[in-house]
Amino acid sequence: MGGETLFGFTVAPLELFVRGSCVFWFLFLVFRFVLRRGVGAIGIADILVIVLIADASQNAMAGEYRSITDGLVLISTIVGWNFVVDWAADRFARIARILEPPPLLLVHHGRVLHRNLRSEFLSTDELMGKLREKGVESIAEVKFARLESNGEISVIGTGNSSQPGA
């Protein structure tokens, strides 16, 4: 492979930009609306999904590219869209509401909302484990517990425990 092919374009930069943009937005929507969120940890299956998506989407983005420059344009496109999404969500509350899932109520006044747990594939044992990490021993101590958009569980205590709001 000569210098021209190594650093020259083998695919039009605009095509690389369009391919990278289409795949970025498709994957963004999949992760936003289908996979929505985790529970503060990444499991083996999650890593496997990310690796497989990366491999599968590489061909869709790249076409037949063979040069370093083509790869750099694709990477720049993806990083650029990621920056734009973060910037827009930070600057505009209306856009943030669309881009980031709202908090999901899991416990309401000491009562577990099982339907919401099921919608996020969480078991009661997993919820209790997360509550214990926050210093909560009993569901009765919880006024509200929410699954936040970042995958963490926030807890507001009833004020009747030794650690209110833990």
How is residue 3 written in tokens? 């210098």
pLDDT digits (tens, 9 = 90+) for 100-124: 788 999 999 999 999 999 988 889 9
Beta strands 104-108 and 142-147 are antiparallel
pLDDT digits (tens, 9 = 90+) for 63-73: 666 677 777 78
Q: What average pLDDT does the structure give for the chain? A: 79
| pTM for the predicted model, two decimal places | 0.57
The 3-state DSSP class for residue 45 equals: helix
The enclosing H or E element of 14 equals: helix 13-29
Q: Is the pLDDT of residue 43 over 70?
A: no
Radius of gyration of the chain (CA): 22
Q: Are 5 and 66 in contact (CB under 8 A)?
A: yes
The conformation of residue 134, written as its DSSP 8-state character, comes to T
- Residue 165 in this model has a pLDDT that exceeds 60: no
Token output for 99: 């881009």
The band of 1, judged by pLDDT with boundaries at 50, 70 and 90, is: low
- What pLDDT is attached to residue 10? 80
Is residue 164's pLDDT more than 60?
Answer: no
100: tokens are: 């980031």
Please provide the size of the chain in residues.
166
Q: Please check the confidence at residue 163 and state whether its pLDDT lies above 50.
A: no
Which of 54 and 120 is assigned the larger pLDDT? 120
Q: What is the pLDDT of residue 166?
A: 42
